[in-house]
Amino acid sequence: MLKFEEIQLSGFGKYPKTRSKLSRPSGVNEIKDFLKSGEVTPRGLGRSYGDAAISDKGIIAESLLMNKFLSFDESTGILSCEAGVSYKDILDTFTIRGWFPYVTPGTKYVTVGGAIASDVHGKNHHKEGSFSNFLISMRILLSSGEIIECSRESNADLFWATIGGMGLTGFILDAVFRLRKIENPYMTNKVLKLKNLTALFEKFEEYDEDYIYSVAWMDIVASGSKYGRNILMLGNHAGNEDLNSRLQVKSKEKYVEKKISVPFEIPFSTLNKVSISLFNSAFYMKARTKEDFQHYDKYFYPLDFILNWNHIYSKSGLIQYQLNIPEDRGQEAVDKVLKKVVEFGGGSFLAVLKKMGDQDGILSFPFKGYTLSMDFPVKKGVIKMCKQLDDIVLEYGGRTYLTKDSILDELTFKKMYTGLWEKWMEIKHKYDPENKFSSSLARRIGLCPF
Ligand SMILES: Cc1cc2nc3c(=O)[nH]c(=O)nc-3n(C[C@H](O)[C@H](O)[C@H](O)COP(=O)(O)OP(=O)(O)OC[C@H]3O[C@@H](n4cnc5c(N)ncnc54)[C@H](O)[C@@H]3O)c2cc1C
């Protein structure tokens, strides 16, 4: 008998929600049984924002019980683990031994399976690329029940279609990838408070050689003379010789995380243009141009300190809109997008701008350019405004990120990923001819039939 729970399920943005049959298989045989009964949607920790890991058809197979480390080579940093292992598991186990993921997204509550399926990027994408750059091989359960190992050398078509393939080629069972050697858990942290976009684009270039990590927080509510103000944060992994004696001692102590919680959804009326604008002003005013050291946990995962922070967006949820625009007209396009958002007045606290580099992978989101991500509380007019942003993105030859998406229509998606989705579709048909692996996202953007 198939074991599942029927519940209202969503991604991290809590929009959209759908009645889904959620299961937590403990092994391959259970997933094979699900496949015999109908469609399957793989799911990790549900940190994709929209509907990539939900479906009102078939069964959602969550990987969280398939979470064992399989092997680790101390001499090379090569780790093999099951797909349900999370970044938190990796950090808790390996940073103390001097190893760190090469690429990390802005939360550690992401599984290895989810990281591959979205080909996640971090603040170092322009220097080091996405997760897939450090992925050596993986084993995938196909809809036929067969388990296939794939890498750059064997079954390479499946390898490249699964990277960024949003769980639609098969269920990733385990993966082999490289970790980075670090000397201690601290980061050098340089903060620059900047008045406008021009200053930001100049500083991105000026510091390109010196720092592997860079990201800018943007005030997307400020208008008039404050329009485009931002805070640029740059960093590197600190060497032991960089640290003072206090931090050298602390770096060897057990790290204890502190968390605060948002226990319930805050009514939308509390979170309005005025309160968001006040928050952004206070955040900008408090920031100082400075250089110091930060523990990796604060540096990479500031949002993880606030448990359930997505509750601040009320029951209606949020849309996270992440675009990437080619480098040559990046500043012009970002300026146009920001002006549209300021005019709409529906922006929020979280807007970040990063540089991106080239990337292999058929449906991988990154390419050489600038990526801007913004949160919008779901309210009247917001979808219409996002569609207008889509038009700007298309005009500049850009695209939006599927793992954050909840609004793209099929035609717009196919224009954004033209030449790529067709190639990906051929491989999908080869390995999953009956579209057994699907999701609400896949049907919405035409990667699977309704
Ligand atoms: C606060 C926050 C910050 C973020 N920052 C970044 C960032 O900086 N960079 C970035 O790239 N992303 C970022 N993300 C997005 C996140 O990294 C991705 O959505 C990631 O895929 C989530 O992993 P998950 O385990 O939660 O997967 P889920 O959300 O559960 O699933 C995501 C996709 O992976 C597929 N999938 C999951 N497990 C498997 C499996 N075993 N086999 C096959 N497919 C599978 C699902 O079908 C789905 O399509 C952020 C998200 C949050 C909430």
Q: Is the pLDDT of residue 262 over 70?
A: no
- The confidence score (pLDDT) of residue 348 equals 73
- Pocket mutation for ligand 1, best pick of 403, 424, 440 (most atoms within 8 Å of C-beta): 403
- Which tens digit of pLDDT belongs to each residue from 133-158? 999 999 999 999 999 999 999 999 99
Q: Which residues pair with 289 in a beta bridge?
A: none
- Tell me whether residue 324 is in a domain: no
Residue 245 in domain = no
Please give the number of the atom of ligand 1 that sits closest to the Cα of 84.
41
Q: What average pLDDT does range 275-298 have in this prediction?
A: 81
SS3 at position 346: coil
Q: Residue 62: pLDDT above 60?
A: yes
Q: Would you say residue 308 lies in a domain?
A: no
Q: Which of 141-155, 166-180, 266-280, 373-387 has the lowest mean pLDDT?
A: 266-280
Tally the domains of the chain.
Answer: 1
Which pLDDT belongs to residue 161? 98
Average pLDDT, the chain: 93
342: Cα separation from own chain's centroid: 24
Q: Whose CA is nearest to atom 15 of ligand 1?
A: 48
**From ligand 1's centre to the CA of 52, what distance in Å?**
9
Q: Is there a domain that residue 378 lies in?
A: no
Question: How far apart are the CA of 116 and the centre of ligand 1, in A?
Answer: 8
pLDDT (average), residues 40-64: 98
Structural domain including 103 reads 69-182
The CA 193 to ligand 1 mean position distance, Å, reads: 31
In the reported structure, the alpha carbon of residue 44 is separated from the centroid of ligand 1 by a whole-number distance in angstroms of: 7
Alpha-carbon distance 61 to 40, whole Å?
Answer: 7
Q: Which ligand 1 atom minimizes the distance to the CA of 119?
A: 11
Distance 104 CA to ligand 1 centre (A): 11
Distances (CA, A) of 352 to 96, 118, 216, 298, 371: 30, 19, 5, 16, 8
Residue 43 Cα distances to 4, 21, 23, angstroms: 14, 12, 10
Q: Is residue 143 part of a domain?
A: yes
Q: Which of 209-218, 273-282, 376-385 comes out lowest in average pLDDT?
A: 273-282
50 Cα: distance to centroid of ligand 1 (angstroms): 10
The pLDDT value given to residue 149 = 98
79 exposed, middle or buried (CB, 10 Å; 0-12, 13-18, 19+)?
Answer: buried
410's tokens:
């099929």
Would you say residue 443 lies in a domain? no
Q: What is the pLDDT of residue 32?
A: 98
Q: Is the pTM of this model over 0.85?
A: yes
Pocket test for ligand 1, best of 20, 28, 107 (most atoms within 8 A of CB): 107
Closest CA to 50 of 444, 358, 332: 444
Q: Is residue 162 part of a domain?
A: yes
Q: Residue 122 belongs to a domain with what CATH number? A: 3.30.465.10
State the closest ligand 1 atom to the C-alpha of 169, by its place in the atom list counted from 1: 43
Residue 307 has pLDDT above 80, yes or no: no
Mutate which of 120, 158, 445 for ligand 1? The one with the most ligand atoms within 8 Å of its CB, which is 120
Predicted confidence (pLDDT) at residue 53 exceeds the cutoff of 80: yes
Closest CA to 64 of 86, 91, 41: 86
- Residue 426 resides in a domain: no
Q: How far is the CA of 174 from the centre of ligand 1 (A)?
A: 16
Using CA atoms, how far apart are residues 384 and 388, in angstroms rounded to an integer?
6
Give the pLDDT confidence of 201-241 residue by residue, as tens digits: 999 999 999 999 999 999 888 888 989 999 999 999 999 99
